[in-house]
Amino acid sequence: MTSLIELLVLMGCLLAIVAWIQVLASRTGMPEATLLSLVGIALGASYVALDSVAPDFAHYFVAPLVDPSWPAEAYIWVFLPPLLFQVALTVDIRAMLQDAAPILLLAVVAVFVATGFIGLTLSWFSGRGILICLLIGAVVATTDPSAVVGMFREVGAPGRLIRLVEGESLLNDAAAIALVGVLTAMLTGAHTAEASWSGGLRSLAYAFGGGVLLGVAIGRLVAFLLTLMDNHAMAETALTLAVPYPLFMLGNQIFDVSGVVAVVCAALVINGLGTTRLARENWRHLERVWAQVAMVAGAIVFLLAAVRVPRMLHGADLGDGLFILAAVAAALAARLAVLFLMLPMLSRLQLAEPISADYRLAIGWGGLRGAVTLVLAMGIAENPSLPLETRHFIAIVATGFVLFSLLVNGSTLRWVVRALDLDKLTPQEQTLQQQAIELSTQEVEQTLRAMATTFRIPAAVTDEVSAAYRLEMALGTATLDIDTALPERERFLVGLLALSMREEELIPDYGSGIVSVRNLDLMKHNAGLMIDASRREGRIGYNRAAKRILRPGPRYAVGLWLHRHLHWSRPLASALADRYELLICRRAVLERLRSYNFARLEPLLGERIAEILDGVLVSRIEYLDEALAADRLQFGPFTQAMERRLLMLFALRKGRKSLEAMVAEQVISKEVFNWIDQELSLAWRRALKRPVLREPGKAPAPNAASTATAPTSAPMSASAESAESRK
């Protein structure tokens, strides 16, 4: 009981330290990872002094950090799964898939190249065995997700640059951990099946591929289970919190595959499918919870690993410092070789979009090492199967490498990004930024005038504040003519991309049963294709991708044949219902996009561009109306039944939101709402049932939606507001 209390108090102290370090990082501009490592090293170095001055404090709070009872691998088991899961859960998957080839090159190939460069350099420079030096190379080959991703975001790096380093840091841990295991087995003679290069490579391929399959399977299972959570945000979040640790152990201990890869792939699948299965506010709640979990996990593992740095560097001398510098130089050379020799080959083979030299330099300098490298080094330092001298050498070089990475690379990365002008906007972005600031400033000034009228503040004071605000926003009195500052074609492409991305955001609003999850996934995928096509081909590509989803698929053709020749109507009814949902949902989204275009894009891009964009949307609506009219002509009773079902579901959703507003305003009590809600839920379930397609020669079957008489509800998203916005 006493040890448990001590552990809880210790965790409380660690959280408090982490909180103040974050505040200090935001105030000073220093990287959080660098501050964490400095504080951890200071704690570890002060243990002896604290033990003599305050032995009780040192015994209870510092000794467990400097010399914990758990093995080094426990750091990976406890902290790495949530870190990787959170990053994979929040990345832009569609954008990352566009750079899949360079990410895999950096995450897998670069690990082997760095291991070889560092191993050969250290072996030549130190005279030690090649396997020992290769093991050091594998330990320091992995970039740390908590250090790298946070650092690049702090310095304001461009989006694509962040995606590249995110993808690399997500996947290279698996390759490095597996490679460390193979080299350790070769050094110790353990696990004879893996104690050779051929066996090690087979083991690595099995671990990586098996981890991918396991992660995808679990991710799809969790995505299915999320649809059964009845829109309870806390239950949905709790389900995702239950994934990383069991999956990590399942992969490592049961299936003998990479638990790291399994966790990452599961999170990527949940990321891709979750937004169509969860209400928008529920997904945001999930992201906020996971951001807090990952922040705590990343900071604590950094702090705990850094505390042990002084002990791991004990006995280091000038010669070890030279070995560390040699390893650093070899690692940088290996990274630049991959970036400037191998990466351009992907572009020549048309496997990836070109990556500028400035981006490659920033990636090369920004390959920060951190807690993962320290934990791997600690594991080797505690491995009794290796000679003491070997363990000591590996621990010193790896630890020194991490310190150099954090203190030198980390502290200068901001300067490097600025020197390469990567923190600056393009001329197009600068023009749009200035226009956006001008528009927002006009809204601010209107609000100020309204407030001044309400509070009887003199107009001179209002004008003074408005002028000060404009000065703060660096606007002055100059006005921007968007028509001359930015060519019409560029403004049109900006608007087209904005419409495509807004469309992708709006589609999940029609979930919770109104539109099937299958249709939502299909429409989101199609919206992603429209974004890509807009970037590549402009309006032509946009229209081509938009029309692709409206063509009847093979399910429709097969169902129609079965309906006509075998009088089997269920397959056609399912295909027709999916098609109707898809068409009507897409049409509702397009109407909302027209409002968005005139409300947001017209002030930003100009009246003419807004009219052209509206013409694009109107053409899509007309094409949809033609498809809906054809279906109504051919399957009139069925489409009418689907229309009744749709309107009933919207009515039920609107009714429930009205009642929720009454509860919030204390017009009715929570008890009254709960009583009504039971009836509403029953009505919602009745209305969800799709109608039956009448078989040839038979009378039409009654529709559940048309017979539902009770007002209703059930899990509801923002679709009701979408209907209101079209009025």
Closest CA to 137 of 121, 120, 115: 115
Q: Report, as an integer, the average pLDDT of 348-366.
A: 87
The dihedrals phi and psi of 175, each to the nearest 5 degrees, come to -65, -45
- How many whole angstroms separate alpha carbon 73 and alpha carbon 399? 16
Residues with Cβ within 8 Å of 237's Cβ and at least 6 positions away in sequence, in order, are 282, 285, 286, 289, 290
Q: Report, as an integer, the average pLDDT of 158-164.
A: 80
Q: What is the pLDDT of residue 622?
A: 93
pLDDT digits over 642-661, tens only?
989 888 888 888 888 898 88
Closest CA to 143 of 152, 134, 135, 154: 152
pLDDT bracket for residue 184 (50, 70, 90): confident
In the chain, the amino acid numbered 410 is G
Q: What is the pLDDT of residue 417?
A: 83
Q: Which residues of 668-685 are buried (b: 16+ CB within 10 A; e: fewer)?
A: eeeeebeebbeebbebbe
How far from chain centre, in Å, is Cα 539? 29
Closest CA to 318 of 329, 306, 326: 326
pLDDT digits over 539-573, tens only?
899 999 998 888 888 888 898 888 888 888 889 99
Q: How many CA atoms lie within 13 A of 178 on its CB side?
A: 32
Counting every residue written for the chain, the total comes to: 727
Would you list the domain boundaries of the chain? 2-419, 427-485, 488-725
Q: Report, as an integer, the average pLDDT of 272-290.
A: 90
Q: Report, as an integer, the average pLDDT of 110-122.
A: 94
Q: What is the pLDDT of residue 266?
A: 95
Q: What is the pLDDT of residue 117?
A: 95
- How many whole angstroms separate alpha carbon 397 and alpha carbon 386? 16
Q: What is the pLDDT of residue 47?
A: 72
Q: Report, as an integer, the average pLDDT of 422-430.
A: 72
Q: What is the pLDDT of residue 163?
A: 83
Q: Report, as an integer, the average pLDDT of 401-414.
A: 86
pLDDT digits over 445-499, tens only?
888 889 888 888 888 888 888 888 888 776 544 556 666 667 888 889 889 988 9
Q: What is the pLDDT of residue 701?
A: 43
Q: Report, as an integer, the average pLDDT of 633-637.
A: 89
Which one has a higher pLDDT value, 59 or 289?
289
pLDDT digits over 206-241, tens only?
888 899 999 999 999 999 999 888 788 899 999 999
pLDDT at 15 over 60: yes
Assess if CATH 1.20.1530.20 describes domain 2-419.
yes
Q: What is the pLDDT of residue 718?
A: 37
Contact 338, 109 (CB under 8 A): yes
Q: What is the pLDDT of residue 519?
A: 87
Q: What is the pLDDT of residue 482?
A: 65
- How many whole angstroms separate alpha carbon 559 and alpha carbon 563? 6
Closest CA to 183 of 402, 104, 331, 191: 191
Residue percentage of the chain with pLDDT more than 70: 87
Structure-token pair, residue 311: 């002990």
